[in-house]
Structure 1
């Protein structure tokens, strides 16, 4: 009678220990799976990451010729003057790590017309009446549109 009762109690204790152990193992597995952030997606308009020096093509030395030809002298090329900023405009960089969507008008309901990557230099042209949106021009592409305010940092020149 007593040995049967001990076997019953030991059976319950072992069953509970197995259930707790397997439940804890499954919980830790899923916690560890969700703790790893996914890779950043690459889009067509993203700049490719710089290649490591080992992958860059090596320069080959030019072969010299024994014939003496006069070398052309370089001509002075006119340099472009840096574009002046409109009155009240200033340069800024994008601080949002994922980049920003450029919209055709200020507001969340406006349609997206492009995007700008993080750490990209833009020109802030104006701000909306409520100061929640900024009209920008991307320096490289000359694309203009509206982005949410607070995601840029003024560049000190």
Structure 2
């Protein structure tokens, strides 16, 4: 074997070893990054947050009592000259406004915002065993109503609705009112 053949063999051997080491390091980095990323939060078939939240909201709403004003609105009557509203009655009837008035905060309550990037699970009670009744998205505005005795859970209300529940403390930042 000649000197140039030996040099070619050594260079080829060194390049092959370098390629194998590089491929091994790349594969190791790929698997390490995949294995260290936290998995998405699972949602199981028996967790129906929308249905549970609707049932909770329906239970918390007061039952309407028939009054002369809403009884007339719910029972259709044929239009006759005797039951058509006069101009005075039409003016006296208030019309609903398009913009809802902001709710006043209860004593001790404050506004906050969710800081956990995956959002939070809204639970029926201040523990992990309680039913999941919904969720709160990242950066969603909320109202903190109370704190559990052990200071690990916060009772909140979603600012856009009437959904109330418990979330883990430490995932919310206080927002100053404007």
The alignment's TM-score, normalised by the length of structure 2, stands at 0.53
Of 157, 165, 175, the match for 1:137? 157
Cα distance in structure 1, aligned partners of 2:129 and 2:9: 62
More helix by share: 2
Instruction: Give the gaps of 5 or more residues in structure 1.
Output: 46-75
The two structures, once aligned, show a CA RMSD in angstroms of: 3.7
Pick aligned residue for 1:97 from 87, 110, 117: 117
Equivalent residues in 2 for 1:8-157, closer than 5 Å: 11=9, 14-15=12-13, 17-28=15-26, 31=29, 34=33, 77-79=95-97, 80-157=100-177
Q: State the secondary structure of the residue aligned to 1:146.
A: strand
For 1:91, what is the secondary structure of its paired residue? Answer: strand
Report the CA distance between 1:146 and its aligned residue: 0.7
Query: What is the CA distance between 1:84 and its match in structure 2?
Result: 1.7
Q: Within 2, Cα distance between the matches of 1:152 and 1:82? A: 21
Q: Give 3-state SS (helix, strand or coil) of 2:150's partner.
A: coil
Q: TM-score when scaled to structure 1?
A: 0.59
Runs of 4+ in 1 over 3 A off after TM superposition: 6-17, 29-35, 76-81
Structure 2 residue ranges without an equivalent (≥5):
44-48, 50-93
Describe the shift of the 1:128–1:29 C-alpha distance in structure 2 as closer, same or farther (beyond 3 A). Answer: same
Alignment partner of 2:103: what SS? coil
Q: State how many pairs are aligned.
A: 121
In structure 2, distance between residues paired with 1:32 and 1:22 = 15
